[in-house]
Amino acid sequence: MFSFVTTGNAIPFLHEIKHALEHLLKTGTESVIDLGAIPFAPGDERILEEILGQGEVDATLTIMGQSHVRETAIPGVWRVDHLDTNGAFQSRFIEITFLPNILKTQPEDAERGLATLVEHLGAIESIGKPQGDT
């Protein structure tokens, strides 16, 4: 099926993902695997791409470089790549989770969002009031 040079690390790595996904489903515990910590040959990368595939969600964040968050074809398994401002890879992870933390709204951001919405609503409501009303 696959005929290219590998280190042999792709299959054990896929088993690690399988166990982490089972654990997520049983306990809700999320896992993160650092792809940079595992030696891979181009063939290993190809095996991962073939097996994990591409899912429905693909998000790009731009914060001090770009972060690409991609759901794989295996729901609950996400690929997260961080690049610097020059586009060079800084870190690469597989996250086994229902939703990667990088995509979740932080409470401080939601509080700031609420304040902004209240401000906008106040401005709109003051426009709609008839002159002379208090």
Instruction: Give me the phi and psi of 59, to 5 degrees please.
Output: -120, 145
Burial class (CB in 10 A: 0-12, 13-18, 19+), 65: middle
> For the whole model, what pTM was predicted?
0.80
Work out the end-to-end distance of the chain between its first and last CA atoms, rounded to an integer number of angstroms.
Answer: 77
Q: How confident is the model at residue 64, as a pLDDT?
A: 87
Of 11-15, 33-37, 123-127, which gets the smallest average pLDDT? Answer: 123-127
Q: Can you list the domains of the chain with their CATH numbers? A: 10-102 (3.30.1370.140)
Instruction: Map the chain to HEC letters.
Output: CCCCCCCCCHHHHHHHHHHHHHHHHHHCCCEEEEHHHCCCCHHHHHHHHHHHCCCCCEEEEECCCEEEEEECCCCCEEEEEEECCCCCEEEEEEEECCCCHHHCCCHHHHHHHHHHHHHHHHHHHHHHCCCCCC
In this predicted model, which residue has the larger pLDDT, 128 or 75?
75
